[in-house]
Structure 1
Amino acid sequence: METPSATYHQRVALEKRALILQAATDLFSEFGYDKASLARVADRAGVSTATMFNHFRTKAELFEAIVLQFWQAAPDEDAAPPSPGDPRVGLSTLGARYARLLGRPGMAGLHRMVIAEAPRFPDLARVQFDLGKQPFFELVRDYIDSEAREGSLRVPDVVRATTEFLGMIANFVLWPQLLLGDWSPTETAVDETIASAVETFLARYAAS
């Protein structure tokens, strides 16, 4: 059984970790990965360098934590794929979750930073892909594959189909943000984009 003191210290540690992650996200976006030193992150977060190193020993480790935080499901959201049987419902659920992930504050800034720094720090792009986009892509791919095995979809190439579905959403929600600082689609517009992506996908791949 945890003591009140242990619970308090755990809560403080989590709060400081959150401050560090937010400070690092802001600094990476403002100054780039190279110029955002761990000492600078600690100063922005208002924590000591010792506290900084207790949480993250290297800048690469800190960046990995940021990517995971951006791509993880919300605490009140089911991270498991929908059960097969109704692809319209399942795809709508996954499409809405993808749009929420891409629309998170700072997500566009993270992409800009990775793209800008990739020539000098190619590992950043690999981390963003391997820990961020790829796991979600695989979740959607596996769901589409499960619907195909159930017979509700006919999908000759499940990877291509997954790319097409997610691309229709990302092309509206994320990519304009990389070039247009004032791009802020309404919730209704995002919902309409998801619905259109689902209907377009089903028009191409529905079994009947």
Structure 2
Amino acid sequence: MTTEPSSYHRRVAEQKRAAIMEAATELFLETGYDGTSLARIAESAGVSRATLFKQFSTKAALFDAIVTDYWRPTEGGGHPEPAPGDLRAGLTAIGNGYVDLLTRPGMVSLYRIVIAEAPRFPELGRAQFDLGKMPYFSSVRRYLEAERDAGTARFDDADTAATQFLGMIADYVLWPRMLLVDWSPSRASMERAVAEAVATMEARYGA
């Protein structure tokens, strides 16, 4: 007799996990990380405490899961690493994918939670950095290194190049949203921002 959970039970577990993470994100934003208890999250998610503790043994583990989920690309899985050989096409694909990531529902809320609570809970900032930003950043750095190896780009420091590219996009797409609640640039304007960032990278690093 198999002990593996059935597809139905796996689906139910996934649904409960998603409900827990959604409820936790809303409560973290509303009452802060410190002011939100696992018991309240369970109540808001409509699950038992036993179910929540089975999924997440600590509040920190739950927050880590939220960060990892938000930084995971929504389509295709993995992090974007186009095949090298065409710097403009590759950077454009990465740039537009980064826009999709930064504008997905909840990303701004996640940043606000981290910024508000990091002075008292520095582990939240570390989770955002280590589990979210750095894996994505590393994928962009690897792509740029592959372009350099292919002879389509020239630079000495891949970290600097990746930081510059992602920073040019985030400065228009993400950071104004942190302060301006009505900041909602059109898709066309964000694509223009990506195109300008790509043109800048080509001018500086294109071989």
Identify the TM-score tier after normalising by the shorter chain. Answer: over 0.9
**SS of match in other structure, 1:25:** helix
CA distance in 2, matches of 1:103, 1:77: 18
Which residue pairs with 1:21 in the alignment? 21
CA distance in 2, matches of 1:97, 1:32: 30
Q: What is the CA-CA distance between 1:80 and the residue it aligns to?
A: 4.7
2:86 pairs with 1:86: yes
CA distance in 1, matches of 2:182, 2:13: 35
**SS of match in other structure, 1:182:** coil
Render the CA deviation track for 1:71-103: whole Å, top value 9, x for unaligned.
012144563511110011111111111111111
Q: What is the CA-CA distance between 1:189 and the residue it aligns to?
A: 1.0
Which residue pairs with 2:192 in the alignment? 192
Normalising by structure 1, report the TM-score.
0.95
Q: What is the CA-CA distance between 1:10 and the residue it aligns to?
A: 0.9
Which residue pairs with 2:164 in the alignment? 164
CA distance in 1, matches of 2:197, 2:121: 34
CA distance in 2, matches of 1:29, 1:107: 12
CA distance in 1, matches of 2:153, 2:58: 45
Unaligned runs of 5+ in 2: none
CA distance in 2, matches of 1:127, 1:171: 22
CA distance in 1, matches of 2:190, 2:206: 23
CA distance in 2, matches of 1:163, 1:67: 20
1:164 partner amino acid: Q
Which residue pairs with 1:71 in the alignment? 71
Q: What is the CA-CA distance between 1:182 and the residue it aligns to?
A: 1.3
2:40 pairs with 1:40: yes
CA distance in 2, matches of 1:28, 1:61: 14
Q: What is the CA-CA distance between 1:7 and the residue it aligns to?
A: 1.2
Render the CA deviation track for 1:134-187: whole Å, top value 9, x for unaligned.
001010011111111111111122111110000000001110111011111111
After superposition, where does 1:47-196 map in structure 2 within 5 Å? 47-76=47-76, 79-196=79-196
Report the RMSD for the aligned CA atoms in angstroms. Answer: 1.8
CA distance in 2, matches of 1:107, 1:80: 18
Runs of 4+ in 1 over 6 A off after TM superposition: none
Which residue pairs with 1:201 in the alignment? 201
1:170 partner amino acid: A
Q: What is the CA-CA distance between 1:206 and the residue it aligns to?
A: 0.6
Cα gap change, 1:181/1:199 in structure 2, threshold over 3 Å: closer, same or farther?
Answer: same
CA distance in 1, matches of 2:179, 2:73: 26
Identity %: 54
Render the CA deviation track for 1:92-131: whole Å, top value 9, x for unaligned.
1111111111111111111111011111000100010000
The number of residues matched between the two structures is 207
Task: Point out the more displaced range, 63-72 or 155-164.
Answer: 155-164
Q: What is the CA-CA distance between 1:203 and the residue it aligns to?
A: 0.8
Unaligned runs of 5+ in 1: none
